[in-house]
Structures are given as C-alpha cells and as structure tokens.
Amino acid sequence: MDNIQIRQNNAQYFPRFLIIGAGSRGNAYAQAVFESRSLTGIVTGVADPVVSKRQSLGSKYIWNGREKQEDAEFDSWQDFLEYEEIRRKKHSAGQNVLPGVDGVFICTLDHTHKEIITNLAPLGLHIMSEKPLAPSLQDCIDIYKSVKPGDGDAQSTIFSIGHVLRYSPHNILLHQLLLKDKRIGDVLSIEHTEPVGWSHFSHSYVRGNWRRQSTSAPSLLTKSCHDIDFLLWLLCSPDGPQSAAHLPYQVSSSGSTTFFKKSRKPKAAGAATNCLTCRHEPNCMYSAKKIYLEKELRKGNAHWPVNIVNPEIEDLYLAGDRTNAEKKLMEALAEDYDSSASIEEIGMRTWYGRCVWESDNDVCDNQVVTIDWKDENSDDSGSRSSKTASLHMVAFTESQCERRGRIYGTEGEIEYNSRMIRVYTFADAQAQVYYPEQPGGGHGGGDAGLAKNFISAVADVINKRRSASEAQLLHVGCSLDDIIRSHAFVFAAEEARLESKVVDWNHWWNANVMNSLGVSSV
C-alpha cells in the first residue's frame, strides 16, 4: 500500500523517514526520533556504506528486535534512489509494494550534500540536511535552485538545515526574552563566543575530517555556521519572522591558524610526526594516546571521539572485548604518512595519531567576525536601529561548544551561557536569572528540537493541516532564503578575512548570489 493510500485511510498519518549517513549526527537524529514520544514520525530506513555503522543504528532505532523490512537498510543513498524509483514504477503498475518514505535526514560529510540533495529533490521528498549545507557558496546556490519552487509554483515540501541552536529550550527562551518580551529594550550589540574546546579542535579540525579548507571548508563554516545563523536569527527579524528582514550592511573578520603549525612544535618532539613514536608524548597535552586511550576509552567512553577514530572500537568495547578495542585504537593511532605520500592520499582520510604541529591542517583556530546594521526605516516594520554583533570562534578553551555571550540593550543587558540566562534591567537595578530546561541529547536539546520541528512540519503538510510554506514558517522557523543567506554570510566573512577588507553586504550579495541565481531578488 502506498503512502497516499495510507493517508486516505487514516485520520492521522505518521510520516516515514530515511537516515542517510549512520555516523554521529545520523545517530543523534535517529535517537531523538526514537526516544521522543511527542514526535509524530518514525525512522524506517538507514543508508550507509559501512555495514557495521548502519546495522548498529538500525538495530537500535529501526528494526529494534522486529523483522527487518526490505527498505530498512541500504548500502548508499544511490541504492535507495534506485530502490525508490523501482518501487514507484511498481506502484504505478498496480503492484503491491511497501510504502515509501516521506522525507530524509542527510547526515553525511559536507561535500556530499549537493549530489545527494540535487538527485533526491525530484522525488518530492521532505529534506533535512545536516549543517553546513555545502562547503562552497556555489554548491549552496545549486542546492537552493534544486529545491526552490519554480516561478509561480507554491512550496510543496519542507526543507530544514541542521542549525540546532535555534531549537534548544535555552535559546528559545533567550529569543523570547530578547525579541518578544523585549526585556532589555532595543538591542545595541551582541558579543557571542563559540568556545570549541582545546581537545575537540585538535580532534576534528587538526587531525579530523574538517582540517583543510581544500578538502572540507573554512572552520567558520564547518564549526560556526551555527553561530552566524544564531546571530542573524536574533537580529535580522526582531519584529517576527513575517516582517521584512533587517539585513546587515557590512561584515568584517580576522583570524588565522595561530597555534597548530610546525613553527609552534616543541623542540623536545624533534622530528617525530606521530604521537606513538615521539619522546615528548608523555609530557604533551595533545598526545593522541592520552586523549583517546587514557582519558576516554580506559575511563569507559567508547563513543565520541573514540568511535570516530574507528567505529569498530565501540562495538568491541560494548561487547566486552576491551583488549581488542584498545588494540584497534592503538593500531589506528599508529597510522602515519611520510614525505613520499601524495597530498591527495593524505587528504583523503583522517590521521588521529598525527602530531598536531605536523598535520596538514590550515583552518583558523582563532577567528573574530563583526557584523554591523544601519538605522533603517521600513514601511512594514517601522524604524529599526543600528546594532553590532561579534562572534569569536576560539579553539583554546576549557568549555567545549558551550556558547556564552552578552547582549547590550537600551534598557538592560543579558548575560548567557549554555545553562543560564541572566537579565539585568537598568530602571530597577534588578537581575533575574533563568535556568532553562536541559533535556538529554546533543546541543542542549537542540538535536531533538530540530527533529521534532522538522517532523511536525512534514506531518502538517502530509495531513493537510497547513500548506508547506505555513508549516515551514511555523515549525522550522526559517525559509529557504534564510538558509542560503546565513551560509552566504559565512563566505562573505571569509572573503573579508582573506582579503583584509570590510565587505559591503548588499553589494556582495548581489554580485555573488543574485547574479548566480539570475534573478533580481531572493
């Protein structure tokens, strides 16, 4: 029976989803859907080329002891696409087939998103893509074109992006206090910090997949596009998402690879390129052996970041085979390369035992972005004041991804971190402190919140409660235009940093996005 028939026979239809990519992000969304009784959807399939990864996700969140259906497991998104095209042909021919999925969660590496989305878009599926949308501006624009309704056509599907900061209880309350309740009057400036964490940065951005701009993207995109989006969410539409956006007029940035480079290598390390053969290793805080073995695996954590080194380690550990789990880890950490290896060979994979000062990384470990708004008079929104936002992305912190900041307003100020919001008002010299709910899951409940909102939007469309554009606005809270704009801001900031200049936003947008789209406005 096809989904359409199921919808006709049931007053309430629960949409079905496929997870593409069974890594940490795929598991995060699958877990959020599986464990939340409030979600009106189910995950019915997973696609990943690594057998152990997809079967691990599937056994936990899909078949979970039940009989496995033929659409529950795919070697790749291409296999799913082939299956779905055949399934639809059989259905059209009147054959009895399993219902298809209504949407997909795309949780693969960033550079794969464009190919996946542009190939799946013609199927009319609802799509949630992990952030960033793509590693280049042109790829982002190509994705936008593939999912944007044609001229004169109404939006028919939901498109969401993994900007989970919008969906945590903490940030939802902050958004309300700042914009709806206007507790500190008009916003004048925001100082926002993304403290990546010293070991997290070495894991993901020095040794891991996101260490090179040429094979991944700038760290401002891969790590902090969340934060750029967060600032634009707070400051572009202070009168509500339906009002005309109050867009910045300029953006500037500075930053570089300040520490993780060969010139900073301790002399005691000599010519060693791998932690396991380095005489300085016992005294090095970035020792791979210390980070992955001593501080994590031997203390009972076989999950992130250990399972990123090799996913088999976690399976062995959970099966009680700790000896072979450690052996697998040490084998992975011992892997290295020398001067005979090609740049392509080195860049194709990760090197978690590599010396952090001998890696091929080139992304910023310390960067500041400044965004400025002018006074603006708008017919539909009245007068909106000038303001400034700064983002500091820094690797060298005790906190790991626990954002913090201050917001200065005409009537008070707000101080926040990942657990607390303190509102101080000038008129009464009083401070009120809030401790928002801290649900389980990643990003302070943001993972579950994003999954819930995406699925709720899809359910509304399928059950004909709202149009796609209405559901997108109500549940997802950002449009396709908002998604492309927040990504474009990252690329504009990077251009400002690389060329040591201040970028005029409107001019840059028209030259780099509008011209590529071939339209006069987005």
Q: Angle 402-407-410 (CA atoms, 0-180°, nearest 5)? A: 170
The token duo for 395 is 């690797």
Q: How confident is the model at residue 9 (pLDDT cuts 50, 70, 90)?
A: very low
Say how far apart CA 124 and CA 108 lie, in whole Å: 20
- Say which CATH architecture domain 186-260+362-410+483-517 belongs to: 2-Layer Sandwich (3.30)
Instruction: Give long-range contacts, CB 8 A cutoff, 24+ apart: 72-76.
Output: 72/44, 72/45, 72/46, 73/45, 73/46, 73/47, 74/18, 74/45, 74/46, 74/47, 74/48, 75/47, 75/48, 75/49, 76/47, 76/48, 76/49
- Written as one letter, the residue type at 491 is F
| pLDDT in the model for residue 166 | 93
DSSP of 272-322: --BGGG-TTGGG-TT-HIIIIIITTGGGT--STTHHHH-HHHHHHHHTT-H
Q: Domain 3-164+447-477 belongs to what topology?
A: Rossmann fold (3.40.50)
**pLDDT tens, 383-416?**
688 999 999 999 999 999 999 999 999 999 999 9
**pLDDT tens, 253-292?**
999 999 999 999 999 999 999 999 999 999 999 999 999 9
First CA to last CA distance, the chain: 40
pTM of the entire predicted model: 0.92
**pLDDT tens, 340-368?**
999 999 999 999 999 999 999 999 999 99
Q: How confident is the model at residue 220 (pLDDT cuts 50, 70, 90)?
A: very high
Say how far apart CA 44 and CA 17 lie, in whole Å: 6
* Position 382 pLDDT exceeds 70: no
* Position 3 pLDDT exceeds 60: no
**pLDDT tens, 409-435?**
999 999 999 999 999 999 999 999 999
Same CATH fold, 186-260+362-410+483-517 and 3-164+447-477? Answer: no
Residue 474 DSSP one-character state: I
Q: Cα separations (Å) of 259 from 128, 265, 363?
A: 35, 9, 11
**pLDDT tens, 83-101?**
999 999 999 999 999 999 9
**pLDDT tens, 183-198?**
999 999 999 999 999 9
Say how far apart CA 22 and CA 372 lie, in whole Å: 39
Domain ranges (residues) in the chain: 3-164+447-477, 186-260+362-410+483-517, 262-347
Q: Mean of the per-residue pLDDT values for the chain?
A: 92
| pLDDT in the model for residue 6 | 41
